[in-house]
Chain A
Amino acid sequence: MHILVCIKQVPDSAQIRINPVTQTIMRQGVPTIINPYDLFSLEEALRLRDQFGGEVTVLTMGPPMASDSLRKALAIGADRAVLLTDRFFAGSDTLATSFALTQAIVKISETFGAPDIVFTGKQTIDGDTAQVGPGIAKRLDLLQLTYVAKIVECDPDKREIIVERRSEGGVHVLKTKLPCLITMLEGSNEVRRGAMKDALRAARAEIVTWSAKDAGIADMTKCGLKGSPTVVKKVFAPPPRSERAFFVPTADVASQEAENLITTLFERQPALEQDLTTTAAGF
């Protein structure tokens, strides 16, 4: 099997700071990580490879330093890494990103063989749109299985896959023909620790690096800022909610203390008092 995993290098959102003056995100010095949702897809891809043989290729689009994330993916166990990098891609929204990635996947198919499954993360932690995966599926005309919690069965010979997909109503059990695109749900597996051998291999692996031209992209108007209809109107940090603590007067008698507590509560939440009185009237 040839399995392709799309990953994204994102700023570690746990360590992001907002500039108090300009209200913009301070990217400087914020460490980057592989988008955590992508790791569940990578792990699932590696498991399928371990079971059925074949190769896992990881693909990312980003600045040259995104190769760090690809190297990490190799250290976890991926076989090959492709970096799509070009200044023409700067400012891409989800539409332009899915276009560029699709072109790269076509090129990967020509160069290294067509993938049987394309994995992406459920969404990224920096954009949170969950649009790029489905965008790729649409452009490549692949069947798409989003929010997959479990791969129940995969039969590369019959070219079939059965998955459990989490939805609002419950769990769908779906059978699909390969090739398809899958986005994995977080927590669906435990991401492995790469072997020492893989870490050594990753440290000196040659990362396949393609420019827009290398990837066979001819129509530059569909790339980067030009190809992105999304316009960011404003970025702001929401003001922290002003939740305050109130001190309830203490009393010697417990019942008095309870009364103090209720009085304080009702003072702050008059609606609550009304609700309770209405309900109590029913008894």
Chain B
Amino acid sequence: MIEERFDAIVIGAGMAGNAAAHTMASRGLKVLQLERGEYPGSKNVQGAILYADMLEKIVPEFREEAPLERRLIEQRMWMMTDKSHTGMHYRSDEFNEEKANRYTIIRSQFDRWFSKEVQAKGALVICETTVTELVSDAYGKVIGVRTDRDADTIFADVVVLAEGVNALLGTRAGLRPAPKPENVALAVKEMHFLPQETIDARFNLRGDEGVVIEAVGTISKGMTGMGFIYTNKECLSLGIGCLVSDFAEKQQTPYGLLEAFKKHPSVAPLIQGSEVKEYAAHLIPEGGYKAIPDLFGEGWVVVGDAAQLNNAIHREGSNLAMTSGRLAGEAIFQIKSRRDPMTKQNLSLYKTYIDDSFVMKDLKKYKDMPHLLHTNSKNFFLTYPELISTAMDNFLRVDGKPKLEKENASIRSFVKQRSLMGLFGDAFKFARAWR
């Protein structure tokens, strides 16, 4: 029997869990955080890009100590066919500011640091402990958790579910439906080690500057998906992900896509001679606004990936996680300082906070986008890249044909592949989903 009671138990030590635990502990709440991995970060997988602003709100001086890889000064967006890519690059020295906006990080190292910050604020963090069950009272209010260690219940006023995308606990406890295959993407990633100078030379970088490449097109074989290459100090994170439902329907394998992506003539020279030292896979919530489950209930709140909070369009996951964790922590602190119980009604404060924040506003803005990309995936990921590539080829190849003829050919091929109505329709739908 464990006599001790906690103000809050946080399940999981990822971005959301750490943000919640940090926020509550630094305001004096008695927090217990349980993590199943050997250490915080050992099980956590992300690309990964860190957005400074959201972390600054939690740990203002994070730049002094956090293990950051490179600050991002350039973004490349590629539309790929089997042999080509059409790219848009944006590089700016403005990104070389003292307090940079985005960094690449390696989660196993970063999360460890973040957890040290959480512990320094007074939260009790216990690893290698899987929460197996939420314990409820006779009225269905969550009052504690049980772990895989033994049958002992640990009691707390509120449980913060930051358990990640699979949301096994929440699903098992009946707080939410299981995530649907069409609402989650499966991404696979490899870490390619190269000497720092090689990375600097290949990507045109100096010092701690970094580049992000994000690629769509035929690499996803007609499925809704995206490939990426992120520069770390001495390695490249390279990966690709598609919707789980698409993998199932198209009978494609993630490692097959990854191998093909690595062999692509635009990618192969970038990773040539590298040594692969890590392979990881991860589910990403992609359902957007419409897939978000209930965010709070009697004695519990859910944050981060577990709440499906991910902006697939802007590829923001960890900062929605951090922000939702922080807001949940702030709401719980408010309720606690009023000496109010952690009822569903009181915890709705968290929903108020999150509705007011960029998290819900952004997700609402793009609420139709996941559906649009999914239903039109053939056009967006196969047809358009091919058409654009053909147009570019026509434009650049000098072969003595009159230019007007070539331009008309390009336009004709657009219309032929996708009827004029279809093209307008897509553009219209896209614009509306974006608005």
Contact = CB atoms under 8 A, between A and B. Distances in A.
Closest 6 CB pairs of A and B: A196-B149, A196-B152, A199-B126, A203-B124, A195-B150, A203-B126
A148 to B, nearest CB: 27
B277 A17 contact: yes
Interface string B259-277: 0000000000000000101
Nearest to B4: A200
Given A29-B109, A31-B38, A200 B124 contact: yes
A17 B42 CA distance: 18
Contacts of A29: 109
Contact of B129 (A17, A20, A31, A196): A196
12 contacts: A17-B277, A31-B38, A31-B42, A75-B128, A193-B148, A196-B2, A196-B147, A196-B150, A197-B2, A199-B149, A203-B124, A204-B124
Nearest to A12: B38
Interface of B: 2, 4, 32, 38-39, 42, 109, 124-126, 128-129, 147-150, 152, 154, 275, 277
Given A193-B149, A197-B2, 10 more contacts: A29-B109, A31-B38, A31-B39, A31-B42, A193-B148, A195-B149, A195-B150, A196-B149, A200-B2, A200-B154
A91 interface: no
A11 interface: no
Label chain B's interface by main secondary structure: loop
B149 A194 contact: yes
Contacts of B277: 17
Nearest to B67: A29
Nearest to A32: B39
A203 B124 CA distance: 7
Contacts of A17: 277
Interface in A185-216: 193-197, 199-200, 203-204
A58 to B, nearest CB: 17
Interface residues of A, number: 14
Contacts of B149: 193-196, 199
Contacts of A200: 2, 4, 32, 124, 126, 154
Contacts of A194: 149
B98 to A, nearest CB: 27
A197 B152 contact: yes
A156 B128 CA distance: 35
A193 B147 CA distance: 12
B136 to A, nearest CB: 18
A73 to B, nearest CB: 13
Contacts of A196: 2, 129, 147, 149-150, 152, 154
Contacts of B126: 75, 199-200, 203
Interface string A17-46: 100100000000101000000000000000
Nearest to B195: A21
Contacts of B147: 196
B8 to A, nearest CB: 15
A29 B148 CA distance: 28
Interface string A116-143: 0000000000000000000000000000
B368 to A, nearest CB: 43
A79 B275 CA distance: 44
A13 to B, nearest CB: 15
The interface centre, meaning the residue of A17, A31, A199 with most chain B CB atoms within 10 A of its CB, is A199
Nearest to B275: A20
Contacts of B42: 31
Contacts of A20: 275
A34 to B, nearest CB: 12
A75 B39 CA distance: 14
Given A29-B109, A196-B2, A197-B2, A203 B150 contact: no
Given A31-B38, A196-B152, A196-B154, A203 B2 contact: no
Contacts of B4: 200
B110 to A, nearest CB: 12
Contacts of B128: 75
Nearest to B125: A203
A56 B156 CA distance: 31
A203 B109 CA distance: 21
A193 B39 CA distance: 16
The interface centre, meaning the residue of B32, B109, B148, B150 with most chain A CB atoms within 10 A of its CB, is B150
